[in-house]
Amino acid sequence: MYTQTEIIKDTTQLNSNGNEGELVINVGPQHPATHGVLHLVITLNGETIKKIEPHLGYIHRSIEKMCESLTYRQFIYVTSRMDYLSAHINNLACALCVEKGMQIEVPERAQVIRILMSELTRIASHELWVGAMAMDLGAFTPFFYTFREREVINDIMEQTCGARLTMNYMVPGGTMYDLHPDFQNRVKAFIIQFTSKVTELEDLIANNIIFQNRTKGVGVLSAEDAISYGCTGPVARGSGVSCDIRKIQPYSGYEKVSFEEVLEPAGDSYARYLIRIREMYQSISIIEQLIDNIPEGDFQAKTKAVLKLPKGEFYTRVETARGELGVYIVSEGGTTPYRIKFRSPGFSNLSALNHMVKGSKIGDLMATMGTLDLVIPDIDR
Amino acid sequence: MQNEEIKEYIISQEPEAKFDETGEWLNVIINPLSWRLLAEKLKHADLQLDYLFCLTCIDWKTHLTMVYHLTSTKYRHSIVIKTDINRTAPQIETVSDIWRTAEFHEREVFELFGVEFLHHPDLRKLILTDDFEGYPLRKDFEDPINMIKL
């Protein structure tokens, strides 16, 4: 971390080198537009950004080290605290990895419930992003519109899982409880509400000339760079890179539902906005296909009380709302992982930020950074 | 591309490579000194492994193992590259100019495991504070203040 004196020293060094007019400023760690404790050290020349250095770690808890002393049942709960907006999908990734190692067959009912929950999570996460992104650009109203729909999802989650954000509903072998009897009706009501209200967002944001001017052609990322920087999720798909793990390496029964992978070739902030809006429609379509066809049966496979993974290495990839989450478990045959690595989508997406904004105006920074959909606990872990 | 073809290609470039097919993907075990040259070929030549989706390190107490998960966005085949480096003064060539995502991932491994990446453009601590001592993800790391073991 830079201390205050070091930054002043840096600035004077730059000036004495003849680079007059260059200025180093700090954005964060406490800043409304970073949505968490992210610290950016920005080198400016006038209004033009010359370099951005992210300083991470303000919310680093060393989850990977913690998991080394937790059992295969316990470590899943910690992962809800990584990307708290995709808690379900994080839990799912860990459960899938343990199931892969132990070769547990998950009942069909549990698989369908898992997809339903993942897609509801994705909608809730994208809804929050749309609101927050609009707020970053100075439009306050959409935030309330998107939270209206997001609240409904959170209430559905609360009813079935007992929690609104850190659900901890996925366990190795299936889900922790069965669905609430009212679940189907409430989800159907939500679909009607969502489809009738989502057009309001288009009127408020997408058709708004101020929003278009501020995002079109801003923060352009080419397909080649997106792959090289390891960008995934809506960020890469906004550059036309096909990277949806649900299509490439289907898990938990995604191969049985039909949906489209949304791609936009432009690579600018507006494309990334469009991707997320269209992904919500795709998620709704997946939910519509499954909500009346939840198979009867067990919601959890019978597993031993103490889980032991055989010696070896196991890797699962899932598609969270932000991109590809990888869970890499190295097992020595015991009840706890020998080494565990979470490949978080936000970490790689953030690494492309410097490349995306270099040479643009500082006013465009938030319009670019906002579309990366950064969740800081996911980056710091 | 099938594993056999990938093996053939890697053998032609790196005759000393060993293979392990017990896992989900083909594991290639190589000498750390030949990693840099091989990496360039893996990305640009026949295999087109253009996406490094995971880069990490494992501490085996006697040595460290660098693990690189690679996949091709064109052909959709994946391989895992593993290479053992010594634990007292671990060094390996950087690949951050080949796969740009490696820049951040290598900085993370540098601070958490103490691996020095040669010719890395900006090898500094990323997550931990500058004055932090020790390498937290090594197995012998002890934190006297914060509880990390149950």
Residue B130: band (very low, low, confident or very high) from pLDDT cuts 50, 70, 90: confident
User: Which of B24, B27, B51, B112 is the best mutation test for A, with the most CBs of A within 10 A?
Assistant: B51
Are A163 and A114 within one domain?
yes
User: Once rounded to an integer, what is the mean pLDDT over residues A332-336?
Assistant: 86
Burial of B149 (0-12, 13-18, 19+ CB in 10 A): exposed
For range B85-109, the mean pLDDT:
89
Same domain for A345 and A242: yes
* Residue A308 and residue A188 share a domain: yes
- Predicted local distance difference test score (pLDDT) of residue A74: 87
pLDDT band at A19 (very low <50, low <70, confident <90, very high): low
Does position A33 have pLDDT exceeding 60, yes or no? yes
Q: Report chain A's terminal Cα–Cα distance, integer Å.
A: 18
Q: Indicate whether A129 pLDDT > 60.
A: yes
- Residue A51 sits in which domain range? 4-55
Residue A198, Cα to own-chain centre: how many angstroms? 21
Q: Tell me which chain B residue has its CA closest to the CA of residue A54.
A: B126
Residue A370 is classified by DSSP as G
Closest partner CB to B24 (pick from A241, A315, A347): A315
- In order of A80, A185, A199, the CA distances from A180 in angstroms are 21, 10, 30
Q: Is A364 helix (H, G, I), strand (E, B) or coil?
A: helix
Bridge-based pairing state of the strands A22-27 and A39-45: antiparallel
Do residues A44 and A86 both lie within one domain?
A: no
What's the distance, CA B73 to chain centroid? 19
* Average pLDDT rounded to a whole number, residues B129-148: 81
pLDDT of residue A342: 92
pLDDT in tens, A256-272: 888 888 888 888 889 99
Inter-chain contact A326–B150, Cβ cutoff 8 Å?
no
**Lookup: tokens for A295:** 């198979």
What residues of chain A lie within 8 A of the CB of B130, using their CB?
Answer: 1
A247 in reach of chain B (CB within 8 A): no
CB–CB of B127 and A243 under 8 A? no
Position with higher pLDDT, A194 vs B21 = A194
Mean pLDDT for chain B overall? 85
**Of the candidate ranges A19-23, A206-210, B56-60, the one whose mean pLDDT is the lowest:** A19-23
End residue of a domain, out of A12, A37, A55: A55
pTM for this entry: 0.86
> Could you give the C-alpha distances from B59 to A315, A338, B17, in angstroms and in order?
18, 9, 21
Q: Do B54 and A314 touch (CB under 8 A)?
A: no
Cβ distance of B100 and A347 shorter than 8 Å = no
Evaluate whether A267 touches A225 at the Cβ level (below 8 Å).
no
The torsion defined by the Cα of A43, A46, A47 and A53, in degrees rounded to 10, comes to: 0
Q: Do B58 and A355 touch (CB under 8 A)?
A: no
Six-digit token string for A48: 């033009």
Place of tokens 């994946």: B78
Tell which of A231, A261, A339 to mutate to test the B interface (max B CBs under 10 Å): A339
Report the gap between the CA of B52 and the closest CA in chain A (Å): 7
Within this chain, do residues A51 and A77 fall inside the same structural domain, yes or no? Answer: no
For residue A4, what pLDDT band results from cuts at 50, 70 and 90? very low
Q: Does A351 contact chain B (CB < 8 Å)?
A: yes
Beta bridge mates, A24: A43
Q: Residue A29's closest CA among A39, A19, A15?
A: A39
Chain A residues with CB inside 8 Å of B42's CB?
none
Residues of A in contact with B113 (CB under 8 A): none
A47 and A89 housed in the same domain: no
Same domain, A16 and A155: no
Q: How far apart are CA A330 and CA A315, in angstroms?
A: 9
What is the average pLDDT across A185-198? 89
Residue A328 vs residue B41, higher pLDDT: A328
From B48's Cα to the closest Cα of chain A, the distance in A is: 12
Answer whether residue A188 shows pLDDT above 70. Answer: yes
Indicate if the pLDDT at residue B148 is higher than 70: no
**Average pLDDT value for chain A:** 86
* Residue extents of the structural domains in chain B: 3-88
Yes or no: say if B36 and B42 are a contact pair by the CB < 8 Å rule: no
Residues A88, A119 contacting (CB under 8 angstroms): no
Q: In the prediction, which pLDDT does A20 show?
A: 63
Q: Are residues A114 and A71 in the same domain?
A: yes
Give yes or no: residues A99 and A10 share one domain.
no
pLDDT of residue A295: 87
Q: What is the CATH number of the domain that holds A311?
A: 1.10.645.10
Of A243, A312, A347, the CB nearest to B104: A347
- Buried/exposed A292-315: b ≥16 CB within 10 Å, e otherwise: eebeeebbbbebeeebebeeebbb
Question: What is the predicted pLDDT for the residue at A189?
Answer: 92
B67, B76, B136 member nearest A248 (Cβ): B76
pLDDT score recorded for residue A5: 46
Report the candidate in A115, A101, A154 with the shortest Cα–Cα distance to residue A258: A115
| Dist CA A145 CA A85 (whole Å) | 18
Categorize the per-residue pLDDT at A105 as very low, low, confident or very high, splitting at 50, 70 and 90: confident
Q: Which CATH number fits domain B3-88: 3.30.460.80, 3.30.70.2740, 3.20.20.140, 3.40.50.1980?
A: 3.30.460.80
Total domains in chain A come to 2
Using CB atoms, pick whichever of A248, A328, A348 lies closest to residue B56: A328
Q: Is A327 in a helix, a strand, or coil?
A: strand
Assess whether pLDDT exceeds 70 at residue B8.
Answer: yes
The answer to whether the Cβ–Cβ distance between A229 and B101 falls below 8 Å is yes
